[in-house]
Amino acid sequence: MDQQQSIKVELISGYLKGTLTAAQERELNEWLHASAENRNIFDSLTNPETLHVALTRHQEKKYRILRKLDAAALYHEEHKDKWWYPWRRRMRVVAGILVVLISASFILFSHAGFSVAASLPGRFKNDVLPGEEQAKMILDDNAVLILVDTVNGDLARQATGEARILKENGWVFYHSSHCGDTIFKNTMNVPLKGIHRVILPDGSRVWLNAGSSLKYPIMFGRQERRVELSGEAYFEVTTMPLTCHTPSVYEERLASSTAIPFVVSIRNASSPTKITLTGGRLDIKAYPDEEQLETLSLEGSFVLLKDNNHLMIKAGQLARLDSKGQVYVDNNTPLLPRIAWKDGLIKFQDASLQEVLSQLTKWYDIDIEYTHAGKARNRLSGSIDRYAPLSAVLLYLETLCPVRFYMKDRKVIATL
C-alpha cells in the first residue's frame, strides 16, 4: 500500500474511533469529495453491518485459536516425556513459520483488494452479506434464549435443576445428573442467514443449517433417542451413548453392547417419515418448502421408514424421497460437497446452475429468478468461501458458465 492510501486508512480509522482533529476531518472530506470511488470505499468500510460481521468472525477465529491452544497444552502434558516429542516440537516451529508467511500473504492480499467493493459492477449495488452463527432456543417452559447474544457458561437449568444447558466455543451442550425418559423438550430454531451447533445429551453432535429447527429431550431414555427435524442438519451420532453422567450406567451400557436407536422424525412431512440408526454420520435435508427429502450416509447405515415401508441406506448412498412417496437411491453422489456448508464452504461437483444457486437462497435470504438461464446445461465444479459477500459468489459463478447475474433488493436474476 502506498503512503497516500495509508494516510486515508489512518483517517478512516480515526473517524471510526472518533479521534480526528479538525484538520484531519477537512482532509477526509476533501478525499471523499474527490471521487465516487473514494466515497464507495468509505461507505463499505464504515457500514455497521459489515463491521458487525467482521467483529463476529474475529471472535470466532479467536475461539478456534484458544481451543487449539488448550488442546495443545493438554497434549503436551500427556506426551512431554515421550522420546519422539522433541522432534514434534521442532516440526511445530516449522509450522509456525509457515503460518506467519501465510498470514503475511493474506494481509498483503487484503490491502491489494482494498478497493474491491468500490469497483463492483452497478448490478451488484445492493450487495448482500452472508449468514452467521445465530439461533434461538425455546425451552420447555417457553422461555427463549437468544444464542447469538449469550456468553460461555451456564445458560439455563431445567428439570428442577437436574439438567444444565451450557455454551462454550460455539457449542451448546447439556449436563444431567438424572437418567431416564423426560417430558422436558427444547427446540433450537436457526433463522435464515444462520447456522448453529448443539451437542445432544447423549454426546451426538448436530450442525443445523439456515432455516432449520431441531426438537429434542433434555435427557434421553434407555429405549430410544428421538429428535424432530425440519430443514437441514448434519449428524454425528454416537454408537454407545452416555445416557447419564454416572460411571456405573456408562459401564453397564458398554457391557450390554446394545446401542440405543437414534430416531430422526421429519416434521412437516405429508405423512410419517423417520430415519433410524444406531450410530454414524449423515446429512438430512428436509425443508418443508422443497419437493423432496434428501438424506446422505457418510458413515454407517440407517433405515428410512415411510408409510410402513422400510429401506436400508448404506454408507456412501444418497436417498431421495419425493412428494409421492417414491424413493430413489444414488450410489454415485459426491459426498464432501453435500456437507461442505458446515465447514464454511459452498462446494459443488458436476452440478447444474440451479443446484448451485439453491445453496444460496437460505444462507443469504434471497430469491432466485431465472431468465433463460434455467436452460443452462453446463455442469459446474468449484468451491468458494461461504462467508463471502453474495457479489463475490456470483462473480465467481460467472467465470464458470455463460451466465450473468443482476441483484435487485433481495432478488437475484440469472440470465444467459
The 3-class SS string of 225-282 reads EEEEEEEEEEEEECCCCCCCCCHHHHHHHHHHCCCCCEEEEECCCCCCEEEEECCEEE
Please provide the CATH number assigned to the domain covering 132-336.
2.60.120.1440
pLDDT value for 48: 61
Confidence of residue 1 (pLDDT cuts 50, 70, 90): very low
Q: Provide the residue type at 69 as one letter.
A: L
Average pLDDT of the segment spanning 262-289: 88
- In contact, 393 and 410? CB cutoff 8 Å: no
Q: What is the mean pLDDT of the chain?
A: 78
Q: Cite the residue boundaries of each domain of the chain with CATH code 2.60.120.1440.
A: 132-336
The three-state secondary structure class of 8 is helix
Specify the higher pLDDT residue, 394 or 80.
394
pLDDT value for 97: 45
The three-state secondary structure class of 381 is strand
| The CATH number, out of the four listed (3.30.470.10, 3.55.50.30, 3.40.50.300, 1.10.3720.10), of the domain defined by the range 345-415 | 3.55.50.30
Sign of CA dihedral 404, 195, 300, 319: negative
Name which of 154, 115, 168, 329 is nearest 145 in CA terms: 154
Confidence of residue 120 (pLDDT cuts 50, 70, 90): low
Specify the higher pLDDT residue, 158 or 279.
279
Q: Please state, in angstroms and rounded to a whole number, the distance separating the CA atoms of residues 416 and 411.
A: 17
Q: How many residues does the chain have?
A: 416
The percent of residues above 90 in pLDDT, for the chain, comes to 39
Cα end-to-end span (Å), the chain: 38
- In contact, 201 and 159? CB cutoff 8 Å: no
The percent of residues above 70 in pLDDT, for the chain, comes to 70
Q: Cite the residue boundaries of each domain of the chain with CATH code 3.55.50.30.
A: 345-415
Q: Where are the beta strands (DSSP E) in 61-161?
A: 132-133, 136-138, 144-146, 153-158
> All 3 cell numbers of residue 141?
417452559
- The residues near 199 (Cβ < 8 Å, ≥ 6 apart) are 171, 172, 173, 174, 205, 206
Q: Please state, in angstroms and rounded to a whole number, the distance separating the CA atoms of residues 17 and 116.
A: 24
pLDDT value for 103: 44
Report the interhelical angle of 36-46 vs 48-79 (nearest 10°): 50
pLDDT value for 45: 72
> Following DSSP, what letter does each residue of 317-367 receive, concatenated?
-EEEE-TTS-EEEES---SHHHHGGGGTEEEEEEE-HHHHHTTTHHHHT-E
pLDDT value for 33: 85
- In contact, 381 and 350? CB cutoff 8 Å: yes
Name which of 378, 380, 327, 377 is nearest 349 in CA terms: 380
- The residues near 28 (Cβ < 8 Å, ≥ 6 apart) are 8, 11, 12, 15, 20
